[in-house]
Amino acid sequence: MANAVFGRFRALPAFILCLCFAYRGGYALNTPVLPLTYALLAQRLPLSLSVPPRRQSILVGQRNHCAGCGVHVETKYLRSMRFCEYFGCFFCCTCHTNTLMVVPGAVLYHWSFLMLPVSNFARDILCRLHSRPLIHLADFQSNVLKREHALRDAIELRRQASRMVPFLRLCQEGSSSVSQVERLPSHWYASADNWSLADLCAVAQGSLSIRLRQALEPCVEHLSTCLRCKARGFLCEVCHTGRVLFPFGQVNTVVCVDCGACFHRTCLSRPPTAESCPRCLRRRQRAATAAAALRMWSIGTHTEEGEEEEFADGAMQKSPIMTDKGAKRSVDRSTD
């Protein structure tokens, strides 16, 4: 039984980092909530020798067995069992050495980076997956995205980088400015949706935004001076004035979600859609005009071909038909 339980935790998939649960008061909830701090847990133990009721139900469900090695613990030694804030189970002193780590569930749902006690199995998993981008923006609680300005700032910077790097790679003179961005982790400028636990810790410390801004400054300077990049930019089709606009999340710019055209925010208060974007409307009108012209040309071509066929048929009917005898007589006369 011990080997079976141990193998179950060893075979945990990598995406468990995004599916982990945090706990409050020792009771596992259906949704991740803020777990107890280690200091609060230590203050509760001296008040009562018994385990809190909710955690006691967890221990009863384990049948006094360690969730890691499966060893049976006698009732008088249950106080020595240690609770893992990552798995929500009790472990023995061998499998749980009171290692303090950040629990992903608390970060995703409450933006809490408290160091909480976890088992050795959870420690190994969190250390192995600490730098792997397995967390998506959809995993965050909506209140966290609305409340945390540092996180929103980092998301916007990564979106700018994900659009700016492919744009500059097409410029022959932009490789030097992109090189500083490429020294960063590749998922930082590939997409703004994938995050690792190390990235979130860097966001909380403020270092991620600083590194991204420093790496993007040469790119912005290149865009302001390079004529080739300016030629690939956009002019506002509403006012037809102002500087060249780029779809990199500028403050005074709105971008069409369909064609990517840029407009001044003062000209279009909301991001245009395919129904309200001037460029999309102009392109659809041009496509409709071209389709109508092609249709008229095809109709005219078929009409001319029909007239030519009718003319050829009429000419054949009016021409005399030479019989075989007449052909022989003409041949004989020519030979004479």
- Of 129, 159, 175, the residue at which a domain comes to its end is 129
CB-based burial, 150-164: b 16+ in 10 Å, e otherwise: ebebbbebbbbbbbb
**60 is in which domain, residue-wise?**
53-129
| Whether residues 151 and 90 fall in one domain | no
What confidence score (pLDDT) does residue 41 get? Answer: 32
- Tokens describing residue 37: 């701090």
Domain count, the chain: 3
Closest CA to 137 of 156, 155, 119: 155
Q: How far is CA 283 from CA 73, 96, 290, in A?
A: 74, 64, 10
Q: Are residues 218 and 142 in the same domain?
A: yes
The secondary structure of residue 193, as a DSSP letter, is S
pLDDT of residue 37: 33
If asked whether residues 140 and 186 sit together in one domain, one would say yes
The secondary structure of residue 272, as a DSSP letter, is -
Give the pLDDT score at 27.
Answer: 31
- Over its length of 336 residues, how does the chain's per-residue pLDDT go in tens digits? 444 443 444 334 433 443 443 333 333 322 332 333 333 333 332 223 334 447 777 777 888 888 888 888 887 777 888 988 888 888 999 899 999 999 888 898 889 999 999 999 999 989 998 999 999 999 898 899 999 999 999 998 998 898 888 888 888 887 788 888 889 999 999 988 999 999 999 999 999 999 999 999 888 888 888 888 888 888 888 887 777 888 776 667 888 877 878 888 888 777 777 788 888 888 888 888 888 888 888 877 766 665 556 555 555 555 554 444 444 444 454 444
Q: Is 146 helix (H, G, I), strand (E, B) or coil?
A: helix
Same-domain status, 203 and 256: no
15 occurs within a structural domain = no
250 and 240 inside one domain: yes
Does residue 99 sit in the same domain as residue 152? no
Q: Let me know whether 181 and 239 are in one domain.
A: no
Residues 193 and 177 in one domain: yes
Does any domain span residue 4? no
* pLDDT score recorded for residue 292: 87
Please say whether the beta carbons of 103 and 33 come within 8 A: no
Among candidate residues 187, 214, 232, the one where a domain is terminated: 232
Q: Is residue 251 assigned to a domain? A: yes
Q: Are residues 98 and 188 in the same domain?
A: no
pLDDT in the model for residue 302: 64
Distance between CA atoms of 10 and 14, rounded to whole angstroms? 11
Q: Is residue 47 part of a domain?
A: no
- Do 125 and 148 lie in one domain? The reply is no
Q: How far apart are CA 200 and CA 147, in angstroms?
A: 15
Domain shared by 139 and 225, yes or no: yes
- Phi, psi values for residue 262, rounded to 5°: -110, 145
Does 227 share its domain with 271?
A: no
Question: Is there a domain that residue 316 lies in?
Answer: no
Closest CA to 109 of 34, 35, 38, 36: 34
125 within 8 A of 104, measured Cβ to Cβ: no
3-state secondary structure of 161: helix
Token representation of residue 270: 């909301």
Q: How far apart, in whole angstroms, are the C-alpha atoms of residue 117 and residue 89? A: 12
- What span, in angstroms and rounded, lies between the C-alpha atoms of 319 and 248? 75
**CATH (domain of 74):** 3.30.40.10
Q: 81, 101, 129 — which closes off a domain?
A: 129
Residue 32, domain member (yes or no): no
Q: What pTM value is reported for the model?
A: 0.64
> How far is residue 281's CA from residue 288's CA, in Å, rounded to a whole number?
10
Longest dimension (CA), the chain: 140
Q: Note the pLDDT of residue 49.
A: 30
Instruction: For residue 128, give Cα distances in angstroms to 12, 30, 125.
Output: 12, 26, 5
In a domain, residue 6? The reply is no
DSSP H helices in the chain: 2-10, 16-19, 38-47, 53-61, 104-110, 120-128, 142-147, 149-169, 175-182, 186-190, 197-205, 207-225, 227-231, 278-318, 324-335
Query: Does a structural domain hold residue 263?
Result: yes
Angle between helical axes of 207-225 and 197-205 (0-180°, round to 10): 80
Rounded Cα gap, residues 142 and 214, in angstroms? 29
